[in-house]
Structures are given as C-alpha cells and as structure tokens.
C-alpha cells in the first residue's frame, strides 16, 4: 500500500532525507503547524544525540519544503527483548497544503526508511487515531489517572525513606533503578545517560517535583514531574525491588507540589505499577484505558515481523515447553501484507511460510507480541478450547511499561 501511495503522488512532489540547510524551512513548517513553542522542536533536533539527517524526511514541492516527519531512533523492550524502534514525531504540513496527502506519503516513506535501518516496531502519540490507523498503527492501552492534589499530598507514609530533590549527579543512580525496574517489560525505552540528559533539555521538568527516595543514604526510588498550563504531570516513577513503599512519599511530594500550584495531578502509569496502585487507592481518582478518555493515546505498528519474531522466538519456545498440547499453527499478520506462521508441535516452535490453522489480524498480532491482551481474537473461527489456551500460553499478558518522559 505504501508503494501505491508513493506512485500516485504528484509529479512535482519530491520525498527525501533532510539536510542541514533545510532547518530554517523545517522550523517554519513546524511553527506553522503547531501551537507548541518552536524551541521544543529545536531542542529535539539539535540536542538529541541520536538524531541523524536520514531520520528526518521531507516533502518538497517546487523546491519548497511543505511537510516533515521525524523518526526518533530508539531501542525498545518487547517482552524484555531489546529491539530497534522508531518513534514518529514532528509530523507537520504547511496549513495551505493540508489535505494534500503529503503527510501520508511521508509516513509510508518513513516506515520504509525504518525498515531499511533495521527497526522492528514504530510508535507515536496522537489525537488523530483514525489517520494513523490507515497506515497500520494500532492503539495500545495504558491507564491514565487524574486525582485531586490534596489527596495525593495526604498519602500515608511511614517515614523510613529520606526524600530530596534530584541533582544532576544522580542520573547514573536513577538510570540503574530504571533499568532494574524495566527488566522483562514491553514498551520501555532502553536509555543511556546521554539519552536521559538529552531529553531533559526539552521535557521542562519541575526541579522541585523531581525527587529521590533514599534508604541508608542510597537512592532506591525516584519520581519525575513537570508543570503544564492545565495540570501537574507525573512523568515517571520507579523503585528498586522491595522498595515499592518508597512510592508513597514520592507521590505525596508530587501532591504537595500540585496543590501549591493549584493544578490537578495527572499521570500515565503502567497498569501493574506500585504508583498505579497508590493512585487507584485515592478516593477522587478517575482513570481509564479507553481511547475515548485518554488524550493522545499511544499507537504502535510492526515494521518487521520477521525481525520481531527472531527476537521473541527463544522465549516463545520456552513457553511452549511448559504448555505442551496438540500440534497447531498460528499465522501472524502485520501491515503491508507481511505474515509469518508459527508451527507448534510439542515443545518445538518453528516459523514457516504457509498459512496456519488459526490466524490473528494485525491488531491481534501486535497485541499478542506486546502482551497487551489475550491473543485469541482471531481472523478465523475461534479454535477449540485447548488450542485457545495454547495460544494464550505462548503470548502471556504483560502491561505496557512506557513513561511520558520518553514521548516524542
């Protein structure tokens, strides 16, 4: 489908990688398309050490840049396996060219570029869900919370943790906590110190609301937050194993900060996280995972099904060993017509190139591979109960573990 769109584009349209001399025009497009201060885009372009010119794609008409898409090169954990990922951001078209289809053409071009670069999955955040569904993206769910700050400020704490502001020299310690907390998850971005520090240049963190919990002088948990025009947002919070009680004083600190600013407290949090449990316990908390109630939900797309299965096949085989049953085959579908069939016989799992007895559609394939929900929503009629259980056993549920501090 992407190739057809490119072929049907106007002859005057030229799609290419950005060049350093394009920056003034790119900033003009972004400034015209968004209410967001241009300084944000400048920081994400000029102060992101992962940025490469080939990652920025532009549409040019008669020598003038009219649309732009940026791919943010990242590594993401999918069921604990690190895979190359591309974040889609800065999707913009000059207002006078809205509806031209240039953004759609650029997105397909960006996906092809991601494939050439060896990326396995793509992700983005948007309020234009139907637009991105047309190019193969699907919503993945993660709870969004909203709470009265005075309730968060009154969260009971036991006083065994010392709370202090985050300092620049804490990054290595916080990164160690983050890496420990995200082992085995789906959706977590693999961070280096440079990625962490780069993002701080555009996150707009509130220093008073970014705090560390220490036990015996050692950092064991942290929370990052920022103030926005309409609310106070928790960006993320993690803790070392056995120190989930440290989340309570961190949440209380965020509540006090939001209360002082007279702003509601909001957060998008992994569903099984200690922070989510603490937020749900507050009487005024409202939360939802539905796309109708979450502003700018996360969407993802498989870029290369083969590469993703290569990364996940060892653990799928491990699951098969503990859940033996009758042989069966399952076909997984990804956008652009890509498909792969898992043939399962006893404890053996292999990939073959012919259709299986049961099939998942694109959305079901993505959900199963991420661990977002049960995998037995099939294209073909529901299989016998034993086969359904077998499919579910290969693709165990796991909540998405993604934080707003990694949004682009």
Residue 38: how many other CB atoms lie within 10 Å: 13
Estimate the crossing angle of helix 38-46 against helix 193-203, to 10 degrees. Answer: 170
pLDDT score, position 397: 82
Q: pTM above the 0.85 mark?
A: yes
Instruction: Tell me what pLDDT residue 308 has.
Output: 96
**pLDDT of res. 398:** 80
Give the pLDDT confidence score for residue 355 in this predicted structure.
74
The CA-atom distances, in angstroms, between 290 and each of 146, 295, 336, 371 are 14, 10, 27, 17
- pLDDT tens per residue, range 60-90: 999 999 999 999 999 999 999 999 999 999 9
CB 125 within 8 A of CB 131: no
pLDDT computed for residue 1 by the predictor: 45
Q: Consecutive sets of 10 residues in the chain, 408 residues long: mean pLDDT of each?
A: 49 89 97 95 95 95 95 96 97 94 94 96 93 93 91 93 96 98 96 96 96 97 97 98 97 98 95 94 83 75 95 90 78 92 84 78 90 71 67 82 93
Q: Using CA atoms, how far apart are residues 145 and 143, in angstroms rounded to an integer? A: 7
Burial of 183 (0-12, 13-18, 19+ CB in 10 A): exposed
């Amino acid at each position: 489908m992407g190739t057809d769109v490119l072929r049907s584009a106007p002859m005057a349209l030229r799609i290419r990688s950005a060049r350093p001399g394009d920056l003034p025009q790119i900033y003009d497009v972004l400034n015209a398309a968004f209410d967001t201060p241009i300084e944000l885009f400048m920081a994400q372009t000029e102060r992101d050490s992962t940025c490469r010119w080939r990652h920025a794609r532009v549409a040019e008409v008669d020598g003038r840049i009219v649309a732009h898409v940026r791919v943010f090169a990242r590594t993401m954990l999918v069921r604990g396996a690190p895979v190359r990922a591309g974040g889609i951001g800065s999707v913009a078209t000059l207002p006078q060219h809205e509806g031209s289809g240039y953004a759609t053409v650029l997105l397909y071009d960006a996906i092809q570029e991601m494939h050439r670069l060896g990326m396995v999955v793509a992700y983005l955040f948007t309020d234009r869900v139907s637009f991105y569904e047309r190019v193969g993206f699907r919503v993945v769910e993660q709870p969004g919370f909203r709470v009265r700050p005075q309730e968060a400020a009154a969260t009971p704490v036991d006083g065994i943790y010392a709370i202090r502001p985050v300092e620049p020299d804490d990054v290595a310690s916080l990164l160690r906590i983050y890496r420990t907390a995200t082992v085995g998850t789906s959706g977590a971005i693999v961070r280096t110190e440079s990625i962490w520090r780069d993002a701080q240049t555009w996150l707009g963190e509130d220093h008073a609301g970014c705090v560390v919990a220490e036990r015996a002088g050692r950092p064991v948990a942290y929370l990052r937050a920022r103030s926005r025009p309409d609310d106070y947002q928790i960006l993320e919070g993690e803790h070392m194993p056995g120190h989930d009680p440290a989340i309570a004083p961190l949440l209380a600190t965020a509540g006090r900060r939001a209360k002082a600013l007279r702003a509601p407290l909001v957060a998008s949090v992994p569903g099984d996280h200690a922070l989510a449990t603490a937020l749900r316990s507050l009487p005024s908390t409202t939360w939802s995972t539905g796309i109708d109630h979450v502003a700018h939900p996360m969407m993802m797309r498989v870029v290369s099904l083969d590469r993703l299965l290569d990364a996940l096949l060892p653990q799928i085989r491990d699951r098969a060993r503990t859940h033996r049953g009758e042989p069966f085959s399952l076909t997984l579908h990804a956008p652009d017509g890509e498909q792969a069939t898992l043939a399962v016989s006893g404890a053996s799992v292999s990939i073959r190139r012919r259709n299986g007895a049961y099939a998942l559609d694109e959305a079901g394939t993505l959900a199963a591979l991420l661990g977002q929900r049960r995998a037995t929503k099939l294209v073909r009629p529901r299989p016998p109960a034993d086969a359904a259980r077998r499919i579910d056993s290969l693709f165990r549920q796991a909540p998405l573990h993604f934080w707003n501090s990694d949004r682009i």
